[in-house]
């Protein structure tokens, strides 16, 4: 299926759940509402014409210091989907605010989302509602803060294991 047709299908099925779409650099992208996200992801996976059976990547971007988006929703959680059968790709994004940084989990659809969502929680502090094992993935549990947030200074050091007594 062609990229534009994928976005057309998403818009037809999700209606106002799709906030905007674009095709920058040839990557077809749909930004969806948070409430429409579970529907959008399962549509992508289960619709035979779409057939996105692989969740290639799941990450987030902190737009706090992005020119023109300082006031807007701070985080974007980004899903890269790939279809083995049709050899096409799509990018799904969902925007969330800092004070309500919660996204519904995708673990029931793809088990790989377990680790990827743990990493996003670890690095950005975006929580995934319904996640079965919400621990940090790369950092240790005593670590304070979320290092990939734009307001986390790169030179901040933390003791590796708790304060020494």
The DSSP secondary structure of 17-57, one letter per residue, reads GEEEEE-GGG--EEEE-TTTHHHHHHHHHH-TTT---EEEE
Q: Find the binding residues for other proteins in span 85-114 (CB under 8 A).
A: 87, 89, 91, 110-112, 114
Q: In this complex, which beta carbon is closest to other proteins, that of residue 9 or of residue 45?
A: 45
Binding part of the chain for other proteins, among 1-9, 10-18, 98-106, 144-152 by CB under 8 A, reads 144-152
Determine how β-strand 127-129 pairs with β-strand 88-96.
Answer: unpaired
Q: In this complex, which beta carbon is closest to other proteins, that of residue 16 or of residue 24?
A: 24
- Residue 70 binds other proteins (CB under 8 A): no
Site size toward other proteins (CB under 8 A) is 38
In the complex, the smallest distance separating the C-beta of residue 17 from other proteins, rounded to whole angstroms, is: 21
Q: How far apart are CA 51 and CA 147, in angstroms?
A: 35
**Could you tell me which of 99, 103, 53, 97 has the C-alpha nearest to residue 78?**
103
Dihedral-angle region of residue 87 (phi above 0 means left; psi in -120 to 50 means alpha; beta otherwise): left
In the complex, the smallest distance separating the C-beta of residue 66 from other proteins, rounded to whole angstroms, is: 5
- Residue 19 binds other proteins (CB under 8 A): no
Residue of 70, 72, 129, 140 interacting with other proteins (CB under 8 A)? 140
| Token couple for 102 | 């919660």
Q: Give the phi and the psi of residue 81 in degrees, each rounded to 5.
A: -110, 150
Q: How far apart are CA 157 and CA 50, in angstroms?
A: 45
Q: Find the binding residues for other proteins in span 26-45 (CB under 8 A).
A: 26-27, 29
Q: Which residues bind other proteins (CB under 8 A)?
A: 24-27, 29, 53-57, 59, 61-62, 65-67, 78, 80, 84, 87, 89, 91, 110-112, 114-116, 123, 136-140, 147-148, 152, 154
């Amino acid at each position: 299926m062609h990229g534009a047709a994928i976005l057309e299908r998403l818009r037809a099925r999700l209606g106002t759940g799709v906030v905007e779409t674009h095709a920058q650099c040839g990557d077809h992208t749909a930004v969806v509402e948070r409430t429409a996200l579970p529907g959008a992801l399962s549509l992508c996976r289960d619709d035979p014409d779409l057939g996105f059976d692989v969740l290639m990547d799941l990450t987030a971007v902190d737009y706090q210091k992005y020119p023109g988006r300082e006031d807007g929703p701070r985080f974007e959680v980004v899903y890269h989907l790939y279809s083995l059968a049709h050899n096409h790709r799509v990018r799904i994004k969902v925007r969330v605010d800092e004070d309500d940084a919660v996204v519904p989990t995708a673990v029931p659809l793809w088990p790989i989302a377990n680790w990827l969502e743990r990493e996003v929680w670890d690095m950005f502090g975006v929580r995934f509602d319904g996640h079965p094992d919400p621990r940090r993935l790369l950092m240790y549990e005593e670590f304070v803060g979320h290092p990939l947030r734009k307001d986390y200074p790169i030179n901040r050091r933390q003791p590796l294991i708790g304060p020494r007594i």
